Amino acid sequence: MGVEWLLVCHGLVTALVIVSFLCGRWPIFEGTFIQRIHHFLTFGAYDYFLRFVGAVFGSKCTDAVLSLEYYCCDRPNPLLQIIYTVIIGVTYYFIVKSCFAYIPGYYLSGIHRYTSFLAVAVGILLFLLTSFSDPGTVSTENVSQYLSAYPYDNIIYAEKECTTCKIPKPARSKHCSICNRCVARFDHHCGWMNNCIGEKNTRYFMAFLLWHFLMCLYGTIAIGLVLAGRLKELKVIDILTVYYGIENSFMDLAPNVVQWLLGSYNTQILLMVFLAIVAMLLAGFFGYHAKLCLSNTTTNEVSMWITDLQVARLYGLAKKVKRSKGQC
Ligand SMILES: [Zn+2]
Ligand SMILES: [Zn+2]
């Protein structure tokens, strides 16, 4: 029993860390402990680590860590692309190793051995397509086309030149400091793709998110059906009913069934929990981007507006302070 609870706690803590790290800045978590964990994971822990390195190994080591950080976060690099490949490869390997022995099973036909492979292959294809496609690089040759496609509104976007590329900056474009190029209808620089997401590859990016969400959902349901099939095939409910002498009602037997599953199929359960968490995160991320696409907005513009809003709020606050001082 102790091991099972340890496993459950491990799963919950992992889920909390993943959710805090990826979604801690979402407005719904503002002021909650999830936001604080996110802050610790993204700033606090790193700051303590730098101080620790400086105190123990000296400033040369701190510089080395900082230059490594510069390479990993501020320069194009395939680090996250490799991590994505490892995650998808290792997860699929464990699914094959732990579940394929039970496919075909009571609820799943043999075709799922092939459809699961096809799902992963399409996922990787969409990943490659988003990673290596042109996001809409603005160059001297195509800048006039982009200027006419995205005219200035003189409210948010006024006529401007990119100081680095030395070419006019079409409205809604942005210079990506990591890739060192101007990108039309810039959304964001995606570390996982090692590429900008812009005018030309947003559709692949959206397809990537939707496909991976569906894939994780498919995995969660399929593993669930494998386990349900094992329960049925091994007549676990019947055995437990006789063993515990409880009425054959699923609700009464549920704790015993869960305990039996955690003891006998913990790899499959961990995979299922992992896929379910990733599916939820992807659903949130896809939903957010779909909302932006439907309102013809980009992540970059939202962050610009948030900054404007903050400036406006501060301005309002300053006026209030002035007024109250005047009253005094
Ligand atoms: Zn530029
Ligand atoms: Zn970029």
pLDDT tens for the chain, residues 1 to 328: 566 677 778 778 888 888 888 788 887 888 888 888 888 888 888 888 888 999 988 888 889 988 888 888 888 989 999 999 999 999 999 999 999 999 999 999 999 999 999 999 999 999 999 999 999 999 999 999 999 999 998 888 889 999 999 999 999 999 999 999 999 999 999 999 999 999 999 999 999 999 999 999 999 999 999 999 998 888 877 777 777 766 656 677 777 788 888 888 989 999 999 999 999 999 999 999 999 999 999 999 888 876 666 666 656 655 555 565 554 3
128 and 55 within one domain: no
Q: What is the dihedral of CA 223, 224, 226, 231, to 10 degrees?
A: 150
Query: Is 88 within the bounds of a domain?
Result: yes
Query: Is 322 within the bounds of a domain?
Result: no
Query: Is 285 within the bounds of a domain?
Result: yes
70 and 15 within one domain: yes
Q: Are 170 and 146 in contact (CB under 8 A)?
A: yes
As a whole number of angstroms, the distance between CA 272 and CA 260 comes to 16
195 and 69 within one domain: no
270 and 130 within one domain: yes
Query: Is 311 within the bounds of a domain?
Result: no
As a whole number of angstroms, the distance between CA 274 and CA 280 comes to 10
Ligand 1 center to 144 CA (angstroms): 15
Ligand 2 center to 164 CA (angstroms): 14
124 and 226 within one domain: yes
89 and 227 within one domain: yes
**197-218: string of b/e by CB count within 10 Å (b at 16+)?**
bbbbbbebbbbbbbbbbbbbbb
Query: Is 167 within the bounds of a domain?
Result: no
Query: Is 125 within the bounds of a domain?
Result: yes
262 and 197 within one domain: yes
93 and 66 within one domain: no
Q: Are 226 and 155 in contact (CB under 8 A)?
A: no
Which ligand ends up closest to the CA of 196? 2
- Total number of domains in the chain: 2
Q: Are 227 and 261 in contact (CB under 8 A)?
A: yes
**Is residue 73 annotated as part of the catalytic site, yes or no?**
no
Range of the domain at 104: 78-136+185-303
Written as one letter, the residue type at 109 is: S
268 and 225 within one domain: yes
Q: Are 196 and 248 in contact (CB under 8 A)?
A: no
Query: Is 316 within the bounds of a domain?
Result: no
225 and 290 within one domain: yes
Ligand 2 center to 50 CA (angstroms): 27
83 and 70 within one domain: no
Q: In what order do the strands lie in the sheet with 137-138?
A: 137-138, 181-183, 174-176
As a whole number of angstroms, the distance between CA 298 and CA 295 comes to 9
Ligand 2 center to 135 CA (angstroms): 9
pLDDT at 324: 56
pLDDT at 328: 38
Neighbours of ion ligand 2 (CB under 5 A): 176, 178-179, 189, 196
Q: Which of 190, 216, 293, 328 is catalytic?
A: 190
pLDDT at 276: 95
- Using alpha carbons, select from 107, 109, 110, 113 the residue that is nearest to residue 231: 107
Query: Is 293 within the bounds of a domain?
Result: yes
pLDDT at 162: 95
Domain final residue pick, 45, 74, 103: 74
Ligand 1 center to 150 CA (angstroms): 16
Domain final residue pick, 74, 107, 125: 74
pLDDT at 70: 83
Q: What is the dihedral of CA 40, 270, 277, 32, to 10 degrees?
A: -30
113 and 29 within one domain: no
Q: What 8-state DSSP symbol labels residue 29?
A: G
pLDDT at 140: 95
Domain final residue pick, 74, 90, 117: 74
